Structure 1
Amino acid sequence: MTNKASTDIMNDILESLIDSTDGYEKAAEIADRATFKNFFTRRAASRRTMAASVRDEITKLGGTPDEDGTILASAHRVFMNISSAVKDSDDAAIEAVDTGEDHLRSKFERALERDDLPASCKTMLRNYQGELRADGRLIDHLEDTTT
């Protein structure tokens, strides 16, 4: 039996994780410094791992995991391309992932507020939420190093 509300919530998280993965990969492409490229590449791998876990959870709930990100993320990547062409690539990359991470953190917070999300999903999201907060602090630090 499928809990449609739960699988919809988790698919929404999954789409955002796919977007985040793509965003970090794009940021790694446009960043100038090797330190930034490495950071973004590691974050992309982390988001890919999170997405795999969320896919598994959706399947356990009886749902079908989405495989694509959102249209909004596609527009965001176009913005990153344009932005990197007109400003320092490190600044553009950091700005883009910071915006994406704010969006992802708010998705997690909204999902955790839902009463119709099973405890197993909430536990997973809370565990990942700590990593998202730590990444946010690291991104803030990277922003400080470019100014």
Structure 2
Amino acid sequence: MSAGNSHDVKVLNGLVEGLIDSADGYREAAAEAADPGHSDWFEARAAERRRLADDLRAAVRERGGSPEEEGSILAKAQRAFMDVKAALLRDDASVVGSVESGEDHLKGRFERALADAGLSATTKETVRRAYAEVKAGHDQMSALKHSLEAQRDADNPLYPK
């Protein structure tokens, strides 16, 4: 594997790890969500993240590398925290807030990869295509979070009507 390919493989594997973390987070959010519609949406997003991870794994193999198969230890710790938080708060807004935080992190990873001048043009295009889906998912999660927050505020008896 050439030095250029080595850098590309490292960056791609970092993104694969982030996508695995995201898929795992969405899967856990689906299990924690009280609203079946949210649960279904989280499951669909988890499947999308797994597919994107598979696409980037294929790109790693094309460049002569060995693809990442697991998520990060830090993400596992964050999901454990999310489990405790959801058990205490028992509402979809807290679950969505935790997932949205993870989505911010994943989006940032992709943006750093796109700004990496050391990536080959081919790898950068692969990352750009995956980023479009990551950003769309991030934006939808952010909109859901804000919608749930607004609903919670509107349901508050102290909220001026």
Q: Which runs of 5+ in 1 are unaligned?
A: none
Match of 1:4 in 2: 6
Q: What letter is aligned with 2:33?
A: A
The correspondence for 1:55, drawn from 57, 68, 72, is 57
Tell me the SS of whatever aligns to 1:115: coil
- Which of 11, 14, 25 lines up with 2:16 in the alignment? 14
State how many pairs are aligned: 147
Name the amino acid aligned to 2:67: P
Task: Look at both structures and tell me which one has the larger radius of gyration over its CA atoms.
Answer: 2
TM-score of the superposition, structure 2-length normalised?
0.86
The higher relative CO (CA closer than 8 Å, separation ≥ 6) is in 1
SS in 1 for 2:70: coil
- Deviations 1:65-85, CA, capped at 9 Å, x for gaps: 111100111111111110101
TM-score calculated relative to the size of structure 1? 0.94
Q: Tell me the distance in 1 between the aligned counterparts of 2:8 and 2:86.
A: 38
Report the CA distance between 1:116 and its aligned residue.
2.0
CA apart distance, 1:138 = 1.5
**Given that residues 30 and 84 in structure 1 are in contact (C-alpha distance below 8 angstroms), is that contact kept between their aligned partners in structure 2?**
yes
How does 1:29-108 map onto structure 2 within 5 Å? 29-108=31-110
The answer on whether the counterparts of 1:28 and 1:93 sit within 8 Å (CA) in structure 2 is no
Structure 1 contact 94–139 (Cα < 8 Å) conserved: yes
CA RMSD in angstroms comes to: 1.2
**Unaligned runs of at least 5 residues, structure 2:** 153-161
Give the superposition deviation at 1:38: 0.9
Q: Quick one: percent identity of the two aligned structures?
A: 37
**In the alignment, structure 1 residue 125 sits paired with structure 2 residue 93:** no
> What is the CA-CA distance between 1:137 and the residue it aligns to?
2.3
1:128 deviates by: 2.1
After TM superposition, where is structure 1 displaced by more than 6 Å over at least 4 residues in a row? none
d(CA) in 1 for partners of 2:85 and 2:11?
31
Cα distance in 2 between the residues matched to 1:143 and 1:113:
28
